[in-house]
Structure formats: structure tokens, C-alpha cells
Chains A and B, each alone.
Chain A
Amino acid sequence: DVKVTQSSRYLVKRTGEKVFLECVQDMDHENMFWYRQDPGLGLRLIYFSYDVKMKEKGDIPEGYSVSREKKERFSLILESASTNQTSMYLCASGEGAQSGANVLTFGAGSRLTVL
């Protein structure tokens, strides 16, 4: 019954390493999102995509990039990981916001620690 799958639950990387976080959804949703979740803060949007090969910056895109080559897959890339990118990363998918209650379906999260 899993609908949004994040490839890695836990990762430990070193400063300067390149990190790939993969997300796949099987609900044929147009929209996909990457958030980070930190204690005491609301979810913060990093990037989102409304269609294949399209991407839009969210509130905190610095230090991140994304790729959406196929509708079901949305990847988050940290070109050179830094300690302040230690966080829980959540992927989500949903239908168009203007279609009313755009309920997001989240993956279980990827907890990244950068040493």
C-alpha cells in the first residue's frame, strides 16, 4: 500500500560529498515536493515540480537542486553537503492545488546526517 517511496531512510555523509535522495510515487500525481523538517520549525519547501522536467524553487533552495525526468520520480541533490543540511527530508506528491483540497501524500522521510 506504499504510495510514496523514499529510497533511503537513514544516510550519513561527510561534508563536501554529493548526496542523492530519490522519491517515487505510484499515484500518477502531477505535483511533487521536497521539504525539510527540523525540530521547532514548520515544514520548509525546498523545491517542487508541476510536471516532468519542470522545477520551481521553494522557500529554501540554496544548496539544493532537483531532477524530474519521469513523472513518478523526483530526486533531490545536494551538490556539496554541509553540516547545516543535517535534517529530515520529506518527499510528497499531490494533484493540482487549484483543484480544491490538494491532499499531499508523504514518503516516510530520509534522515540525513552530515558529519
Chain B
Amino acid sequence: GQNIDQPTEMTATEGAIVQINCTYQTSGFNGLFWYQQHAGEAPTFLSYNVLDGLEEKGRFSSVLSRTKGYSYLLLKELQMKDSASYLCAVYDSNYQLIWGAGTKLIIKP
């Protein structure tokens, strides 16, 4: 079967750095997405990786390793507003999007 694994919950301190991991086992691979979802709100797009390597967007970076079947999202200089769930999703060989259950990130002052 197809599977995306993420930690259920993580806690970090304001101003620090946190890494959220995502491992996947899918039938084929055509790209990996990270979305951010604040409580009660719509998921919003953060990043997309299709080749191995790093994608940077301000304080957020995403890294992909296709050979190892994993990605991680790196959040720097954490702010209280970064408290949210972070969803990992993979396009399989049929361009069907497979979603992880999300990681709830709690930021403490």
C-alpha cells in the first residue's frame, strides 16, 4: 500500500529551528508538497520538490531525497504564528496525491 509517515506532534521554542520529517512509500513519485494549515483554516502551499535537493523560501526550506524516500521541512527563527499543522503530500506514478496525517507544531515562548 501507499504510505506517508510524519510525526504526530512536535514542540519547539520561539526563535529556534525545527525539522519536520516526512517519509513515503508510494507507487512511483512525481513530486512532494508541503502545506501549512492553521487550526480551523484552509491548508496553504509552502513548497514543492521534485528533484533531490533544497528549496528555500524565506525562513522555510524543504529538502528531498528520492533515493531515501524522505523529505524534511526546516523552519528557522520560529515565530508564534508558525504554530500550525504541516502536511506532507506525494504525487504517485498516476499523479494521485497521497497525504500524510500532518504534524502539529506547537511553538512555546
Contacts and interface: CB of A to CB of B under 8 A. Distances in A.
Given A101-B31, A101-B48, A103-B48, A43 B87 contact: yes
Interface in A100-115: 100-109
A78 interface: no
Contacts of B101: 40-42
Contact of B45 (A45, A104, A108): A104
B102 A42 contact: yes
Chain B interface bracket (under 10, 10 to 19, 20 to 34, 35 or more): 20 to 34
Interface string B72-109: 00000000000000010101000111111110000000
Interface stretch (B10-18, B36-44, B60-68): B36-44
Contacts, number: 52
B73 to A, nearest CB: 16
A66 interface: no
Contacts of B102: 42
Chain A interface bracket (under 10, 10 to 19, 20 to 34, 35 or more): 20 to 34
A65 B70 CA distance: 35
B42 A43 contact: no
A90 interface: yes
Contacts of A40: 8, 101
B99 A42 contact: yes
Contacts of B54: none
B91 to A, nearest CB: 7
Interface of A: 4, 40-45, 90, 97-98, 100-109
* Among all A-B residue pairs, the 3 with the closest Cβ atoms: A42-B99, A97-B95, A106-B42
